[in-house]
Amino acid sequence: MVSVSIFTFSVEYNVSYVYHTIYAYFDRDNVGLKGLAKFFKDFSKEKRGHAEKFMEYQNKRGGKVKLHSILMPVSEFHNQEKGDASHGMFSMELALSFEKLTNEKLLHVHEVGNKNNDVHLAHFLKTEFLGEQNSSTISYAS
């Protein structure tokens, strides 16, 4: 479970960091899309909360929390070919891809838990993450 769960909260932290960068971009005075800024700030906090919840679970199970480096994300979120008006759409498409990635990783960890008869892990993922993650992915897609 250790290597699998480390990867999972590393993904959550990285996604949180990217969302926080998108928030900072939309909050800039020359972009000024405060609604999108708030949206990404809130989702950044949510993702960080997921990582922390997973780490608390890891500690309760006697595991060791080991964090990986977080990669520096891009700081501009517009498409040169489509013009500046595309930055909101580009950011939402990026977020959707991250939500799909996160969902895939959570499903993989859930599958590993089931294969190893780790009912606690499977239950934890199902009750704490999978339903919410599915809802987030659907909301980004619509």
96 closest CA partner among 133, 123, 68: 133
Cβ contacts of 7 within 8 Å, gap of 6 or more:
105
* 54 within 8 A of 9, measured Cβ to Cβ: yes
* 47 within 8 A of 23, measured Cβ to Cβ: no
Please tell me whether 108 is known to bind a ligand: no
Please tell me whether 133 is known to bind a ligand: yes
Please tell me whether 80 is known to bind a ligand: no
Please tell me whether 12 is known to bind a ligand: yes
108 closest CA partner among 14, 16, 3: 3
Give me 4's structure tokens: 């699998």
Which segments are annotated as binding site? 12, 50, 99, 133
Which segments are annotated as binding site for Fe cation? 12, 50, 99, 133
